Structure 1
Amino acid sequence: MQPQRIALSKRLVISRLRIGACLVLLAPLIASARGTAPLKPDDITWLRRDGFGLDTAAVTRYRDLGRNGLLDAQLADHINDSLPPPIASLLDGYQAIATPPQQLLMELDAAQQHIKTMPDGPDQVAAKKNLQDMGNQLQQQAQQAELLQAVYGPNQLKEQLVWFWLNHFSVYAPKGRVRWELGDYTQNAIRPHALGKFRDLVMATLESPAMLEFLDNNQNAKGHVNENYARELMELHTLGVGSGYSQQDVQQLALILSGVGIAPTNGKPEKFNPKMAPLVVRNGLFEFNPQRHDFSDKVFLGHTIKGSGFDEVTQAVDLIVQQPACGEFISRQLAEYFVSDNPPPALVKKMAHTFQRSGGDIAKVMRTMIESREWVAGTDPKRHDAKFDDPMRFVVSSVRLAFDGKPIANALPLVYWLNQLDEPLFGRITPDGWPLDGASWSSSGQLTQRFDIARAIGNGNNLLFTPAGSTARAAGFPMLTTRLYYDTIEPYLSAATHDALAKANSQQEWNSFLLASPDLNYR
C-alpha cells in the first residue's frame, strides 16, 4: 500500500473511532470484494461536470455505457429511465403541472371578477388573500417540480441544460399572472426543446404566456407599441450587446411582434372581422391577433419584411438565429456556464461554427464543447481554473450525493435553500438571469449560508422526508460513507479536506464538512 494511502487510512480510523462508525472501516473492503475499481480522476471530474454531481445511478450508467455511449444517449435524449414512482407521484399532484394553463388562468380570471363584485370589507380582503396564497402555492409547486427533476432526472446533461435555458430565458414569478403560467413554461416551452434547435426554443419562449406576460408583449399593439420584449429578445436571448443591431432594428422588431399575445381567458368569444379572421394564430394560450398587428412593411437587420401577419414573426426569428452573432453569443454563454468563467475564445469559435453549420442544433453544439480539448483539459483535477458551483448546482448536487436516489417527500426545503442563497427559481426581477460566473456566488456571506445548508443536509434536520403538511417528522439522516463515496470521492479528496474530515466529532459534522468542502463545490 502506498504511504499516502496508509496515512489516509490512519486518519480515517481515528475519525471514525470518534463517532463509532464501523462502516467506514468495512466499506473499502466491501467495494474491493465486489471487484469494482474506483473510477479514474478524469472520469469522476467528467461525470460531475456532465450533470448535477454524482449518485450511484449516474456512476453505474457511466460504467455500463462508457463515456462516449453515455454522451451519445444524453444528446439524443434516449435515456428513458423513469423517475422514482414517489417523485412522479409528487409531480402529478402539483396543480401547477397537472392542470392545463388555460384552466388555471380562467379560474384566476373568474376569481378576480368575483372579487370586483364584492363590497369592501373583511370578506373581500380574505378573498384577495386566498387568491394571493393560490398564486404563491402554484409558484412553489413549479419550483419544486424543477428541483425534483434536476435531482432525479436520469439525463443529467439535459437537466443542466433545462436549468441553463430557464435562466437564459428568465421570467419573474411575482409579475402579473406569471405564477399561474410557470408550470406550462418549464414543462412545455423549455424542457422539450432543451436539446433541440435553438430556433424552436426561441419560438417556444416567444409563444409562452409567461414570457409574453413578463416582458409585456401582450400589451404590444398597433398604435400602442411596447418595445420591451423586442429589445430583450435580441440583447439577452439571441444576439447580445454590441452585436451590431440598432435601435431602429428594435423598433422594427417591436412592430413585427405587435399583436403577439395571450388569448382572453374571461370566457367571452372574440370577434374578428371577416378579413382578419383567417390570419388569427392560436396555440394553447398563445394568440396572434391580426387586429392588433401593424401590417406595414418593415426593414429588420437589413432585410425587408412585407406586412403579412404572423409570418413576419417567423421570418424575423429566422433572421436573428442565422446571424453569426447569435451563434457566438449562445456558444459563449454555454461555455461560460459549463467550462470556465472566461471561456477560451478558440472553444467559443468552434462551438459557434457548429451552431452556424447545424442550423443552431443545441445537441451538436454541446458535443463540440464536450469533445473539445478545452473540456478534456478541464477534467484534470490539478487545474487551477475550476468553476465554483452556483447555488443551484450546490443544492442539487448535495442532495443527490447525500441521499443517492432515495426519494424525498418534500421539496420545499430545496426551494427555501435557493432563496437563502439568493438564487431563487423564477426570482430574478431583471430579465438577464442569474450570473453564470463563480465569483458572484463566493462571497463570505454566501459561503456561510452554504455551510449552514450543508449542515442541515448532513444532520438530517431538513424536513425533506416529512410530507408537506404532516405533523409527524420523518428522519432523513444521510450516511455519506458509502460505496459511492469510496469509489468516486474519497480517493481524490485534497489533503486539506482529509484533515478537516479527520477533525469531525460526529457523523453529522463529518457530513457537513464534506458537503461544504472546496472539493465538492468546484467542478
Structure 2
Amino acid sequence: MEQQHIQHLYWRASFGIPLNLVSTLQQQSKNQVINQLISNSSLYKPLPFKDLSEFTPFNIRQTSNKKDIRIKSGKTIQKLNLQWLEYMVNSVGIREKMALFWHDHFACAPRNPLFAQQYVEILRANALGNFGTMLIEVSKSPAMLTYLNNIQNVKGSPNENFAREVMELFTLGRDTVYTEKDIQEAARCFTGWKINKEGQFFLHRKKHDTGVKTVLGVTDALEGEDVLLLLLKQKETAYYICKKLYSYLVNEHIREERVQILAKLMYQENYEILPVLKAIFLSNWFYENENIGTQIKSPITFIVGTQRQLNLKISPPQKQIYVQRILGQILLSPPNVAGWKSGTYWIDNNRLMFRLKWVESLLKAVPLSLEPPEIGDDNDPFQETKEAGKMRIEVKLDEFMNYVTGNTDKKDSHEILLNYLLQVNPNPSSIPLLRRNITNEQQLKSFLSKASKLPEYQVC
C-alpha cells in the first residue's frame, strides 16, 4: 500500500498511525493491512476501573451528604473519561474509534459513574459486533433509561421521549416510515422499564402496559424489545446507519449509490457491523483523492491523534479534560441526544487558535491558558475542569530521528516528516519556512511545532 493510503486508513478507522508502523505496513498488501487492523481489534478488554457499587441507587439513597456524593461522582466520571482516552491513544485497532462513533450515535451523558461505566462498556464491547444487540443493550442501560426519562414512562401516563429518539436518532432517522401514532404506541411498549437498587435493568410489571398496541403496522400485545426488533426489520434503519458510517469513515458528502450497497449488505448480514466496515476499507473508492484529507479532525481525534503521531504522553492526564472543554468535545458529555456536530463546527476563532498553539505549548512546555465555555448545569461532572497552566509531556523523539536518517537518501528530512504528519500537501508558501535539515532534537521540536500550526494539520 502507498504510505498516504495506509495513513488514510489508520486516521479514519483509528486515530492515526504510530510512526514505527509506517515502513512495516508498506511491505504488505491492502488485505494484509486491513486484516491485521481488524485482528488487533478482535479482543475486547474492559477498562481497568475499580468497583463502583457505592454508586448503586440503593447506596446513593443511603448517603446522607448528597453534595459529597455528587462531587465524588463527578471526579469518578472524569477518571472514566481519561481511562477511555488512554485506551484510545494506546489502541492498535479500530474498536475505540468505532466506540466513539457509537457514543455519538447513542449520545448519552450519564451522571452516575456506575451507569457511565456500564454504558461505555456496552459501546466498546459491541462496537464491531451486532448493531441489533447493541441497540437492545443501550436501550435497557440505566444510563439511557435515565437520560431519556424512560424510568418515568409508566402505564396510564406514557413518556414518549425515548420512543421518539429511538426512531428519529437511533434507527429509522427523521421523517421516514413512522408516524406520531407509532411513537405514542411504542411509548406504551416501553412502560415499566426500570432500574433496580443494584443499578440493573428490570421490568416493573405493575407499571407496564400489557395491552394491545399497533406499531409500524403490527398489532399485538407488543413489548419494548418487540418494538426494537420491528425497527430493525425496516430497511430504512440499515440505510440510516450506513449513511452515518459513510459520513464518519469516508466523506460527509454522501455518495448515494455506495450507501445503498452498504445498507443492503448490512441488512443481509442481520446488522453485523464488521462486514460493512470491511466493505468500506477494502473498496477502491475509499482511497480516492476526493476522500483523503477532507475531514476536520474532531477534538477527540485531534487530542488522541497528536499523542499517537508524536509519541507523547501528557501529564498530569487531568489536563486533557480541560483541552476537551476548550475544543468542544468531552467524552461522556455530548451536548444533547443528537450528539456532536462535525466539520467546520470544530473550527471557530478560539478553538482554532488553541489548536494551532497546543502542540507547540506541549513540546516547549509553555503554559497555554484559555477560559473554557461555561457549562450551564451545576451538576455536570465536568463543570469544575477549568484549570489550564503548564502541561508536562514525556516525548520520545529518537524514533523520529531514526525515521528521518533512515530515509534521507531519498528525500529531504522536512519532506519525509510532512508526508507522515499531513494527509494533504501544504500550501507552497509554507514550504520555505519548514525546509531545513533536522539533525538534533531541538531542530526536530521546532519543526514539529511549526508543522502542527499548518491548516493542513487539522484535517485527516
CA distance in 2, matches of 1:61, 1:514: 24
Please name the residue that 2:379 is paired with: none
Please name the residue that 1:30 is paired with: none
Of 294, 297, 300, 1:389 maps to 297
Please name the residue that 2:50 is paired with: 98
Please name the residue that 2:340 is paired with: 434
> Is the contact made by 2:63 and 2:69 (CA closer than 8 Å) also made in structure 1?
no
TM-score, normalization by structure 1: 0.73
Which SS does the other structure have where 2:202 is aligned?
strand
For structure 2, which runs of at least 5 residues remain unmatched after alignment? Answer: 369-389, 408-415
- Going from structure 1 to structure 2, the CA distance change for 1:131 and 1:428 (only over 3 Å counts) comes to same
- Going from structure 1 to structure 2, the CA distance change for 1:229 and 1:378 (only over 3 Å counts) comes to farther
Of 343, 347, 352, 1:447 maps to 352
Deviations 1:428-459, CA, capped at 9 Å, x for gaps:
23100001x31211223321121232223332
Aligned ranges for residues 247-258 of structure 1 at < 5 Å?
A: 247-258=180-191
CA distance in 1, matches of 2:40, 2:3: 26
- Going from structure 1 to structure 2, the CA distance change for 1:131 and 1:114 (only over 3 Å counts) comes to closer
More deviation in 337-346 or 367-376?
367-376
Please name the residue that 2:455 is paired with: 518
TM-score, normalization by structure 2: 0.82
Deviations 1:482-513, CA, capped at 9 Å, x for gaps:
44578774346534443343499965443222
Which SS does the other structure have where 2:394 is aligned?
coil
Residue identity in the other structure for 2:221: K
1:192 paired with 2:128, answer no
Deviations 1:413-433, CA, capped at 9 Å, x for gaps:
222211110111122231000
Please name the residue that 2:83 is paired with: 145
Residue identity in the other structure for 2:9: W
RMSD: 3.1
More deviation in 50-59 or 246-255?
50-59
CA distance in 2, matches of 1:153, 1:477: 18
Please name the residue that 1:296 is paired with: 211
> Is the contact made by 1:45 and 1:379 (CA closer than 8 Å) also made in structure 2?
no
- Going from structure 1 to structure 2, the CA distance change for 1:186 and 1:197 (only over 3 Å counts) comes to same
Please name the residue that 1:42 is paired with: 5
- Going from structure 1 to structure 2, the CA distance change for 1:300 and 1:133 (only over 3 Å counts) comes to same
1:361 paired with 2:272, answer yes
Which SS does the other structure have where 1:476 is aligned?
strand
More deviation in 135-144 or 446-455?
446-455
Please name the residue that 2:34 is paired with: 71
Of 3, 19, 25, 1:56 maps to 19
> Is the contact made by 1:55 and 1:484 (CA closer than 8 Å) also made in structure 2?
no
Residue identity in the other structure for 1:110: N
Deviations 1:255-302, CA, capped at 9 Å, x for gaps:
11111121134xxxxxxxxxxxxxxxxxx7111121210000111111
> Is the contact made by 2:3 and 2:26 (CA closer than 8 Å) also made in structure 1?
no
Deviations 1:165-194, CA, capped at 9 Å, x for gaps:
011111124xxx43442122112x111100
Of 308, 316, 327, 1:421 maps to 327
- Going from structure 1 to structure 2, the CA distance change for 1:202 and 1:497 (only over 3 Å counts) comes to farther
If asked which structure has higher relative contact order (CA below 8 Å, sep 6+), I would say: 1
Aligned ranges for residues 2-41 of structure 1 at < 5 Å?
A: 40-41=3-4
Please report how far the alpha carbon of residue 128 of structure 1 lies from its aligned counterpart in structure 2 after TM superposition: 3.7
Which SS does the other structure have where 2:309 is aligned?
helix
Please report how far the alpha carbon of residue 319 of structure 1 lies from its aligned counterpart in structure 2 after TM superposition: 1.1
Please name the residue that 1:13 is paired with: none
Please report how far the alpha carbon of residue 410 of structure 1 lies from its aligned counterpart in structure 2 after TM superposition: 4.0
1:129 paired with 2:67, answer yes
**Amino-acid identity (%):** 22
1:228 paired with 2:154, answer no
1:171 paired with 2:120, answer no
More deviation in 138-147 or 42-51?
42-51
Residue identity in the other structure for 2:50: A
Residue identity in the other structure for 1:105: F
> Is the contact made by 1:347 and 1:369 (CA closer than 8 Å) also made in structure 2?
no
Residue identity in the other structure for 2:96: E
Please report how far the alpha carbon of residue 79 of structure 1 lies from its aligned counterpart in structure 2 after TM superposition: 5.2
Which SS does the other structure have where 1:54 is aligned?
coil
Please name the residue that 2:59 is paired with: 110
CA distance in 2, matches of 1:287, 1:484: 56
Residue identity in the other structure for 1:386: T
CA distance in 2, matches of 1:80, 1:137: 29
1:239 paired with 2:172, answer yes
Deviations 1:95-144, CA, capped at 9 Å, x for gaps:
xx3215xx1333x64354442xxxxxxxxxxx443222201111101111
CA distance in 1, matches of 2:360, 2:452: 8
> Is the contact made by 1:263 and 1:285 (CA closer than 8 Å) also made in structure 2?
yes
> Is the contact made by 2:362 and 2:391 (CA closer than 8 Å) also made in structure 1?
no
- Going from structure 1 to structure 2, the CA distance change for 1:186 and 1:64 (only over 3 Å counts) comes to farther
Which SS does the other structure have where 1:203 is aligned?
helix
Please name the residue that 1:412 is paired with: 318
